[in-house]
């Protein structure tokens, strides 16, 4: 069974049909740049562009980089603040001629995909998935059960939001080398470990493709740290899984 998944990010919007049995993309994903400003109307148009690229006409799952309750957006740290209070499913579904749309937090979607088909499969105890990109998303699981909308990238770390110190965007903006950036990530993981005592950290987002460049540089963290197996496709897969449910 295939269901369509779309992952809205601060810099890009990507999607593809997903083979739910395999937990992987059924076709190569299509990506467009996130419009600037990233207003609800303009982003909805881009989502529609991604979906119509495949001629899709069934259920669609969509991730959003912020807190989502029901299908209403509650926070928008890395996209336009006009999103707050918007019924995203109604907006996007309207752009797509009334197709059924399910909306959820982006990191939660990636986490569900990784716990089902990836690095967290079969793992018990507390598992924290972190997506490093424009910001830092988080998904927290206890014995496989998700605590939704944790948004741990906004925790204060040394007087600043964690994602303002250790996101991939910060690495690029400040032209940080792998050693310096890994040091920042280590401090963030150590802070999360102090708060939650997880057995496992799963590191996701686009940077997970280069895990060998920075994960060996992170020490003094007791929890196991592994890269996301689905890498930057985890959000698309998790979105499709949510739509199927």
In this predicted structure, what is the pLDDT of residue 82? 98
- The 3-state DSSP class for residue 61 equals strand
The 10s digit of each residue's pLDDT in 221-230 is 999 999 999 9
* Global model pTM greater than 0.85: yes
Phi, psi of 125 (to 5 degrees): 75, -160
| pLDDT (average), residues 179-206 | 97
CA distances from 156 to 55, 78, 89, 161 (A): 44, 17, 31, 5
At 90-132, the pLDDT tens digits run 999 999 999 999 999 999 999 999 999 999 999 999 999 999 9
For position 211, what pLDDT does the model report?
A: 97
């Amino acid at each position: 069974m295939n269901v369509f998944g779309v992952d809205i990010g601060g810099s890009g919007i990507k999607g593809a049909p997903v083979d739910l049995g395999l937990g992987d993309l059924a076709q190569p994903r299509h990506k467009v740049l996130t419009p600037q400003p990233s207003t609800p109307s303009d982003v909805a148009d881009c989502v529609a562009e991604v979906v119509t690229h495949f001629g899709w006409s069934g259920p669609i799952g969509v991730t959003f980089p912020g807190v989502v309750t029901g299908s209403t957006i509650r926070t928008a740290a890395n996209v336009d603040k006009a999103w707050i209070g918007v019924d995203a499913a109604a907006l996007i579904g309207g752009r797509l001629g009334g197709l059924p749309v399910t909306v959820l937090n982006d990191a939660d979607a990636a986490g569900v995909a990784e716990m089902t088909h990836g690095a967290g499969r079969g793992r018990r105890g507390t598992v924290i998935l972190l997506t490093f990109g424009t910001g830092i998303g988080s998904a927290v699981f206890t014995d496989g059960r998700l605590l939704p909308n944790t948004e741990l990238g906004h925790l204060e770390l040394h007087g600043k939001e964690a994602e303002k110190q250790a996101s991939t965007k910060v690495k690029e903006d400040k032209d940080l080398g792998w050693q310096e950036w890994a040091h920042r990530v280590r401090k963030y993981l150590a802070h999360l470990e102090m708060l939650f005592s997880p057995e496992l950290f799963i590191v996701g987002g686009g940077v997970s493709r280069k895990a060998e460049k920075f994960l060996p540089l992170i020490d003094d963290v007791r929890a196991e740290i592994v890269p996301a197996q689905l890498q930057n496709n985890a959000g698309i897969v998790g979105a499709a899984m949510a739509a199927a449910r």
